Amino acid sequence: MLGSLITQRGTYVRLGSTNRGADSQTILSLQMLAKNTSFDELPCIGAVLTDIDDEVIKTYLSPTFGAITKRQYESLGIVTKQHSKQHPTNGVYYCLELIDFNGFLT
């Protein structure tokens, strides 16, 4: 808890010619940037692998990548591992329009 308090009160960003305290969203963005992680690579909350239609994936990606197998899903960013389990990523949900623009599963 003390570490997060120090981070919130001790993080400043340069805005024009002034330094301002960073808000929690800016701090989160900076942490993700430092880890080289983007939003679309994160696991989609509430999603399961059966939501992804393999035929749709093959239709979109086969012209570019050739024959697509489930073993390639992680390297293509379709799924990600979290706690040794595979989960669909936010990116695949937005690309396949399985999620609306308010952030809710359709």
56 in the same domain as 28: no
Domain range spanning residue 90?
A: 40-95
Q: Does 100 reside within a domain?
A: no
Q: What is the pLDDT of residue 1?
A: 42
Q: Does 102 reside within a domain?
A: no
Q: Does 104 reside within a domain?
A: no
Q: Does 8 reside within a domain?
A: yes
pLDDT tens string 14-39: 888 988 888 888 888 888 788 877 88
Q: Does 66 reside within a domain?
A: yes
Q: What is the pLDDT of residue 4?
A: 56
CA dihedral 102, 91, 49, 42 (to 10 degrees): -90
pTM for the structure as a whole: 0.60
30 in the same domain as 15: yes
Percent of the chain scored above 70 by pLDDT?
Answer: 83
Q: Does 103 reside within a domain?
A: no
Closest CA to 89 of 42, 21, 20: 42
Separation CA 62–CA 77 (nearest Å) = 15
